[in-house]
């Protein structure tokens, strides 16, 4: 294969630790109808990436190229694409879970998964935002119908989804409480949290009650316990889509709502998020960037579970 028609990509042929990720050259894809070929400039790395790397998740057995976040430049358009033309700067999330592949120099995206990148941020910022921001927006705005003046608890509020959820909730006019280790409380206040709880020292169920919304990215028993701090009719939205029947059963007993969700690629939601970015109300905190070739290092750091904000692969 000539390099003109190939691309660098991070592939894995077996499941396992970060060491299974390999940089290879693959054929550069061609866009089909209603698809665009994006030259990737930056792509976030999310927990779902290392979970799929280790277990296969929704994707089953390798080989596959991971990555759902993308920010880049339209290289070519397929038949019928009217929204974009080559040279346009775009960002978005590839359809989850089966649209993966952004940890490469080029990726095919359905046209409706993308929107124009806000001019006020660079590709690294834009590449960090889509998956976590869509998760937070769909949880808080679409599923919980968060309103001004309501009280919301965001678990793991300094993490990827958490730190954008705090900002989105504040932009909606909510009173925001976040859980994080004590060392991250100043960060939470900087991004708009009204209260911070040290989950290592304080049981949130003992100090909170009558909340309208809880966003839980941890799942399991944490989701069940979160139901107990809601007002009647309140809602816990869990971003962990599978679990025991205890979560919905306990919600029914308490007269509250239990919702499990998976993030969905959506241009209208991306446009809403882009507006928040342009208004200065939403920004990704990026703990560290890595060149594409160091994807394994990014996975290893992310898996430790202590990241503030996001990790991003930057493609030259």
Tell me the CATH number at 120.
3.90.180.10
121, 143: one domain:
no
Same domain, 42 and 116: yes
Residue 258 in tokens: 């239990």
Residue 174 maps to a domain = yes
Asked whether residue 186 is assigned to any structural domain, the reply reads yes
316 — pLDDT class (breaks 50, 70, 90): confident
Are residues 256 and 297 located together in one domain of the fold? no
pLDDT in tens, 13-67: 999 999 999 999 999 999 999 999 999 999 999 999 999 999 999 999 999 999 9
DSSP letters spanning the chain: --GGGEEEEEEESS-SSGGG-EEEEEEPP---TTEEEEEEEEEEE-HHHHHHHHH-GGG-SSPEE---EEEEEEEEE-TT--S--TT-EEEEEPPTTTT---SBSEEEEEGGGEEEPPTTS-HHHHHHSHHHHHHHHIIIIIIS---TT-EEEETTTTSHHHHHHHHHHHHTT-EEEEEE-GGGHHHHHHTT-SEEEETTT--HHHH--SEEEEEESS-THHHHHHGGGEEEEEEEEES-----THHHHHHHHHT-EEEE------HHHHHHHHHHHHTT-----EEEEEEGGGHHHHHHHHTTS--SSEEEEE--
Q: Are residues 160 and 139 in the same domain?
A: yes
Residue 48 sits in the same domain as residue 87 = yes
Owning domain of residue 64: 3-129+284-314
Q: What is the pLDDT of residue 104?
A: 98
Asked if 256 and 136 sit in the same domain, the reply is yes
Report in angstroms the alpha-carbon separations of 206 from 182, 199, 229: 18, 11, 9
Does residue 205 fall inside a structural domain? Answer: yes
| Residue 254 shares a structural domain with residue 301 | no
Domain CATH number, residue 229: 3.40.50.720
Tokens of 30: 């061609």
Residues 141, 116 share a domain: no
Instruction: Give yes or no for a contact between 315 and 41, defined as CB atoms under 8 angstroms apart.
Output: yes
pLDDT band per the 50, 70, 90 thresholds, residue 2: low
Structural domain count of the chain: 2
* Residue 200 and residue 92 share a domain: no
Contact 202, 180 (CB under 8 A): no
Q: Are 108 and 29 in contact (CB under 8 A)?
A: yes
Q: Which tens digit of pLDDT belongs to each residue from 268-306? A: 999 999 999 999 999 999 999 999 999 999 999 999 999
Which residues does residue 106 pair with via DSSP β-bridges, in sequence order?
39
Q: Could you report the per-residue pLDDT of 139-184, keeping only the tens digit for each? A: 999 999 999 999 999 999 999 999 999 999 999 999 999 999 999 9
Q: Give pLDDT, residue 3.
A: 66
Residue 269 lies in a domain: no
Question: What pLDDT band is residue 4 in, cutting at 50, 70 and 90?
Answer: confident
Are residues 152 and 177 part of one domain? yes
For strand 257-260 and strand 230-238, is the pairing parallel, antiparallel, or unpaired?
parallel
Say if 300 falls within a structural domain.
Answer: yes
Greatest distance between any 2 Cα atoms in the chain: 63
Q: How far is CA 247 from the centre of its chain?
A: 23
Task: Let me know if residue 276 belongs to a domain.
Answer: no
Residue (of 182, 121, 186, 127) closest to 160 by Cα position: 127
Is 271 part of any domain?
A: no
Q: Is the pLDDT reported for residue 1 higher than 60?
A: no
Distance (Å, whole) CA 96 – CA 223? 23
pLDDT digits (tens, 9 = 90+) for 114-134: 999 999 999 999 999 999 999
Which residue reads 């930056």 in tokens?
42
Q: Are residues 51 and 91 in the same domain?
A: yes
Do 138 and 255 belong to one domain?
A: yes
Confidence at 189, pLDDT banded by 50, 70, 90: very high
Per residue in 209-223, pLDDT (tens digit) is 999 999 999 999 999
In a domain, 93, yes or no: yes
For the cut 70, the answer to whether the pLDDT of residue 85 exceeds it is yes
């Amino acid at each position: 294969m000539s390099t003109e028609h190939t691309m660098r990509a991070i592939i894995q042929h077996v499941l396992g630790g970060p060491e299974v990720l390999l940089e290879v050259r693959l054929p550069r894809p061609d866009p089909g109808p209603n698809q665009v070929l994006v030259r990737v400039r930056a792509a976030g790395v999310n927990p779902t990436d290392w979970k799929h790397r280790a277990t296969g998740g929704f994707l089953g057995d390798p080989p596959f190229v991971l990555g759902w976040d993308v920010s880049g430049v339209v290289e070519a358009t397929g038949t019928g694409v009217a929204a974009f033309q080559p040279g346009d700067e775009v960002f978005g999330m590839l359809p989850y879970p089966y649209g993966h592949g952004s940890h490469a120099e080029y990726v095919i995206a359905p046209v409706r998964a993308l929107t124009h990148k806000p001019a006020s941020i660079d590709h690294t910022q834009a590449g960090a935002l889509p998956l976590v921001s869509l998760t937070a927006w769909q949880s808080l705005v679409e599923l919980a119908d968060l309103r001004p003046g309501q009280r919301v608890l965001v678990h793991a509020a300094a993490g990827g989804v958490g730190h954008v959820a705090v900002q989105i909730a504040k932009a909606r006019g909510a009173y925001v409480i976040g859980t994080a280790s004590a060392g991250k409380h100043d960060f939470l206040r900087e991004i708009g949290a009204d209260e911070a709880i040290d989950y290592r020292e304080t049981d949130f169920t003992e100090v909170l009650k009558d909340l309208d919304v809880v966003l839980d990215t941890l799942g399991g028993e944490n989701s069940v316990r979160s139901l107990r701090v809601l007002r009647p009719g309140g809602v816990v939205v869990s971003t962990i889509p599978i679990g025991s029947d205890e979560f919905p059963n306990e919600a029914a007993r308490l007269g509250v709502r239990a919702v499990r969700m998976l993030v969905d690629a959506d241009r209208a939601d991306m446009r809403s998020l882009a507006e928040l970015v342009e208004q200065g109300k939403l920004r990704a905190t990026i703990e560290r960037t890595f060149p594409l070739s160091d994807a394994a290092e990014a996975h290893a750091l992310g898996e430790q579970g202590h990241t503030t904000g996001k990790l991003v692969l930057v493609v030259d």
